[in-house]
Amino acid sequence: MTSGTRRTGIEKAMKTVLLISALASVLIVLLIFIFTMKEATPAFREIGVWKMLSDTTWRPGNDQFGILAMIAGSGLVTLGAVLIGVPLALGTAVFLSEIAPCWIAGIVRPSIELLAGIPSVVYGLFGMVVLVPLVRTIPAPGNAGYGLLAASIVLAVMILPTIANISEFAIRSVPKGYKEGSLALGATKWETISRVIIPAAKPGIISAVVLGLGRALGETIAMIMVIGNSVILPTAITDNPLSIFLSRARTLTGNIAVEISYATGIHESALFATGVVLFILIMLVNGSARFLMKMGVKS
Q: Tens digits of per-residue pLDDT, 170-204?
A: 999 898 888 888 888 888 888 898 889 998 888 88
Mean pLDDT, range 71-99, rounded to an integer: 92
Mean pLDDT, range 41-68, rounded to an integer: 91
Burial 159-173 (b: 16+ CB within 10 A, else e): bbbbbbbbbbebbee
Phi, psi (rounded to 5 degrees) for 2: -75, 165
Among 224, 212, 215, which residue's Cα sits nearest to residue 70?
Answer: 224
State CA 250 to chain mean position distance.
Answer: 16
- pLDDT given at position 81: 93
Collapsing DSSP states into helix, strand and coil, what is residue 206? helix
- pLDDT given at position 38: 94
Q: What secondary structure letter does DSSP report for 66?
A: -
Q: Are 150 and 135 in contact (CB under 8 A)?
A: yes
Phi, psi (rounded to 5 degrees) for 59: -135, 90
Q: Tens digits of per-residue pLDDT, 113-134?
A: 888 888 889 999 999 999 999 9
- pLDDT given at position 154: 94
Maximum CA extent, the chain: 82
- pLDDT given at position 87: 94
- The model's confidence at residue 207, banded by pLDDT at 50, 70 and 90, is confident
- The model's confidence at residue 24, banded by pLDDT at 50, 70 and 90, is very high
- pLDDT given at position 184: 87
- The model's confidence at residue 296, banded by pLDDT at 50, 70 and 90, is low
The kind and range of the H/E element at 64 are strand 64-65
Say yes or no to pLDDT of 237 above 80.
yes
- The model's confidence at residue 297, banded by pLDDT at 50, 70 and 90, is low
- pLDDT given at position 102: 85
- pLDDT given at position 239: 85
Say yes or no to pLDDT of 293 above 70.
no
**pTM score, whole prediction:** 0.88
Mean pLDDT, range 89-96, rounded to an integer: 93
CB neighbour list of residue 141: distance below 8 Å, 6 or more residues apart = 237, 238
Rounded to whole angstroms, how far apart are CA atoms 133 and 228?
A: 13
Domain ranges of the chain: 47-298
Mean pLDDT, range 26-45, rounded to an integer: 92
Rounded to whole angstroms, how far apart are CA atoms 166 and 85?
A: 14
Q: What percent of the chain has pLDDT over 70?
A: 96
Mean pLDDT, range 10-20, rounded to an integer: 87
Q: Are 156 and 88 in contact (CB under 8 A)?
A: yes
- pLDDT given at position 150: 94
Say yes or no to pLDDT of 1 above 60.
no
- The model's confidence at residue 3, banded by pLDDT at 50, 70 and 90, is low
Say yes or no to pLDDT of 252 above 70.
yes
| Mean pLDDT of the residues in the chain | 88
Q: How many other CB atoms are there within 10 angstroms of residue 240's CB atom?
A: 10
Say yes or no to pLDDT of 77 above 60.
yes
Q: What secondary structure letter does DSSP report for 214?
A: H
Mean pLDDT, range 260-288, rounded to an integer: 89
Collapsing DSSP states into helix, strand and coil, what is residue 239? coil
Q: In the CATH hierarchy, which fold is given to the domain comprising 47-298?
A: MetI-like fold (1.10.3720)
Among 203, 202, 210, which residue's Cα sits nearest to residue 284?
Answer: 210
Rounded to whole angstroms, how far apart are CA atoms 258 and 225?
A: 11
Say yes or no to pLDDT of 73 above 70.
yes
